[in-house]
Amino acid sequence: MTQKLPLNPNQWRPEYHFSPSEGWLNDPNGLVYCDGVYHMFYQAGEHRRRWDHATSEDLLSWSEQGTKIQDTQSVQSFSGGAVVDRGDTADFGENTLVFTYTGHHDDGTEDQRLAYSTDIGDTVRTYNANPIIESATGDFRDPNAFWYEPDASWRMVVSRVEGTRDRPAGIEVYSSDNLRDWAYESTYRDTDGEEWECPSLFELPVERTAESRWVMIVSSIENCSVEYHIGHFNGTEFVAEDVILADYGYDFYAAQNWENPPRHGELVVSWMNNWAYADNGPNPGWRGVMTIPRTIALHNVNGDVKVHQYPAAEVARMRKNVITDLSQETVVPDENPLEQVDIGNRTLDIVATVDPRNADTVEFRVCEGRTQASSIVYDTVNEELHFDRTNAGAFFDNDAYGTTSMPLKLREDGTVKLRILIDRCSVELFANDGRRTMTNLVYPDRESTGVSFSSEGGAAEVERLMVYGLETS
């Protein structure tokens, strides 16, 4: 990897993804919606973690609200979640925002703590009887509470990354009537020995059926990736029936869902980075970006329940102009139907439906300049989608993190459908109506704004290709 800093520190600052005005950002924390406002707390402080706060009414334009849970001389404030205590079960007042988080002590031990806000996040107080779950060991973190309607009480999931003499590694489930006193219920164990953190647990309907499933989100430390575990929860134990990789890119980690979402489906956001290189990436005075919030839904696919993921609906509202609109266009090798199109935008929403026909590969090149491009290739022979950022600009070159792939079968009509979201430092792919996703950082030069399309080994047909310029209001 190589690093080339821009002359302008905002060259790569995203237009519609959240990034801090200055300093460090990693895990999203305390995601909660209340009174028309999305709240996003997050891990700030490169060397000592604390909770900073941002708010938005549309998930795209964010206002920073400052630090809300400080670190102290001996305890850092690690990740956790948030709920709206509508019924005042914790005795802090109706509709109080209650936060659960990990206290990371300088000796390495980690315990679980509580904080709350009675003014919708303007001020946050730490609970004076912390910790709410004591611990004499480390690697025990990321508490995330939720309301369990069947018995009208609270549940919380916490990651025990490494097992102890008394408890196995896995995701622990706790119960409580008041958010302050918690009882251990069970551990959802990983039989393959993976180390997990950043858990969430929620129920979703299976679209167009009378069924539902519970979804547990975990982040795999070893692979720096996110998994959706699909299964059943009875209030005490979670049992999985399938595990799905959430994203096939390198930069989707520590995902968390919004508590109390205002609409059908769950909204999820993640840190767009990777611990393999996060500490070494370009540092123009701010470091860290969140992914676009995405809606996740469950679908019955040939008898199996699968996750589909879509960009939040608000993204489409940013479409300010149609840069190009192609339909029913045959493309032969060495031909680029976008050659005469002046893209000129660094923020794009590309929606394409392509029939590969007899082509071996079809390729989109985005963030393209004279010598740069991010390459998106569909391989019809192996039914795979490849992403290559080895020539995408600063930092990433031909190393282990330069290319990635994901399995992707053609749709029933023989086409592949892609939605490609481009911001100044990222490319996010949603393939075949959200069946697969891929998220990657890129650091192109400012003038690398081109988009091209080509086929190899035969002709392909562009059934529809729309390129929209995006702009936040």
The answer to whether the beta carbons of residues 144 and 80 sit under 8 Å apart is yes
User: How many angstroms separate the CA atoms of 472 and 317, rounded?
Assistant: 9
Q: If you ran DSSP here, which 8-state letter would residue 409 be given?
A: P
Strands 436-441 and 450-456: unpaired
In terms of C-beta density within 10 A (0-12 exposed, 13-18 middle, 19 or more buried), how is residue 140 classed? Answer: buried
Handedness of CA 131, 134, 135, 138 (dihedral sign): negative
User: How many angstroms separate the CA atoms of 1 and 397, rounded?
Assistant: 5
User: How many angstroms separate the CA atoms of 204 and 298, rounded?
Assistant: 7
The owner of tokens 């109506």 is: 433
Element (H, E) at 426: strand 426-431
Length of the chain as a residue count: 473
Query: Which residue in the list 27, 71, 111, 423 is annotated as catalytic?
Result: 27
3-state DSSP call for residue 315?
Answer: helix
Half-sphere exposure of 35 (CA within 13 A, CB side): 9
Cα separations in angstroms, 435 against 242, 305, 417: 15, 12, 10
| Nearest alpha carbon to residue 415 among 320, 351, 347, 321 | 351
Distance between alpha carbon 316 and the CA centroid of its chain, in Å? 18
Element (H, E) at 64: strand 63-69
Catalytic site includes residue 122: no
* 157: Cβ contacts below 8 Å, ≥ 6 apart: 143, 144, 171, 172, 173, 174, 199, 200, 201, 216
Amino acid at 406: M
Distance between alpha carbon 454 and the CA centroid of its chain, in Å? 30
- Active-site positions? 27
